[in-house]
Amino acid sequence: MTTQAHGDQIVISRNHPVFDLPEIVATEHGLFEQAGLDVRLAHNTPSRERESRDPIARRKEALFESERADLFNLCEWGGIDRLERNRRGGYIGYLRPAVVAQGLISFDPALGEPHDVSGIPVGVNEFTGSHYTALHLLEGTVPRDRITLEHVGPPSARLEAAATGSIRAVMLMEPYLTLALERGAHLLGCYFYRGTQVVAPHLPAERLDVYMSAVNAAVDIINADRSAWAGHIVSELDGSLAPGRLRPDYHRYTHATPFTRERFTESYAWMTSWQLTDGRSGYDTLLALR
């Protein structure tokens, strides 16, 4: 089914459920409808196949770029990257509610801490949270010129690569992190991060604020009983992990908050230091509509 963003309807291009859970809960509880919004989730459930190395060609970005979706979330550095790469335009709306860890894991007993991967490839999905958090996690202990990342693809591919030994260490988030630990992997380190909401240029800030209020109400519902929502998070594993086995330590939810000028400036300087941006943009460029 092709998703079409049209009229007053707001279409969300899906991310993994651990990141989209507040939007899922808001939809299921009718919170958007109560707020006077017509919101639906696009039919773009993440695939287990290796994704393109071109971020704009990937599923959620492609729907947004082709104007079949109005917003999506991803890591904050990725939000900056996508807006600099795309042709549609848009702006960063806010920091998303999901606070999630990317864990550096290995099945190799010779690797015990982040320093042990100096000069050893770490599997990531380029220009996603796994990529950026790997750099943040490792640069505190490994010299920059010894940090080696390898594009493996989405988390299912990274877990399989680590489990079969084709790569010695990978970055994973939930529910793949719990699944890896259940299968005998061990944790070398983890890095918690939030993300940003990328918003289509035609969606006014006032309407986004109403949307965000409904999402924040969903966060309150989630936090009243976090375990009740584990089934949504593990759903992409097709029964490989029982909801009750999902670990609570590596994800949590808080109200969406503004992406401040100070935080943007710090993040953008860090991206520039890694040559992840050519420095063409600024806060007023990417958050001007806020």
Q: Report the distance separating Cα 183 and Cα 190, nearest Å.
A: 18
Q: Could you give the 3-state DSSP secondary structure of residue 9?
A: coil
Q: What is the pLDDT of residues 260-288, one digit of tens each?
A: 999 999 999 999 999 999 999 999 989 86
pLDDT one-digit tens code per residue, 76-121: 999 999 999 999 999 999 999 999 999 999 999 999 999 999 999 9
How confident is the model over 14-48, as pLDDT tens digits?
999 999 999 999 999 999 999 999 999 998 655 54
- Which of 25, 4, 26 has the alpha carbon at shortest distance from 70? 4
CB-based contact 155:130 (threshold 8 Å) = yes
The Cα–Cα gap between 11 and 9 comes to 6
* Residue 112 and residue 188 in contact, taking contact as beta carbons nearer than 8 Å: yes
For residue 78, which phi and psi values (nearest 5 degrees)? Answer: -65, -35
User: Mean of the pLDDT values across residues 197-216?
Assistant: 95
* Domains present along the chain, CATH in parentheses: 10-98+195-287 (3.40.190.10), 100-193 (3.40.190.10)
Residue whose tokens read 């939809």: 27
Single-letter residue type at 184 = G
Cα 126–chain centre separation: 12
Can you give the pLDDT at residue 48? Answer: 44
Residue 289: what pLDDT? 55
Report in angstroms the alpha-carbon separations of 254 from 184, 215, 271.
31, 10, 25
Q: What region does 122 belong to: left with phi over 0, alpha with psi -120 to 50, or beta?
A: beta
The two beta strands, 10-12 and 121-124, are unpaired
The type of residue at 204 is P
What's residue 54's pLDDT?
Answer: 83
CA 175 – CA 217 distance, rounded (Å)? 24
pLDDT in tens, 133-155: 999 999 999 999 999 999 999 99
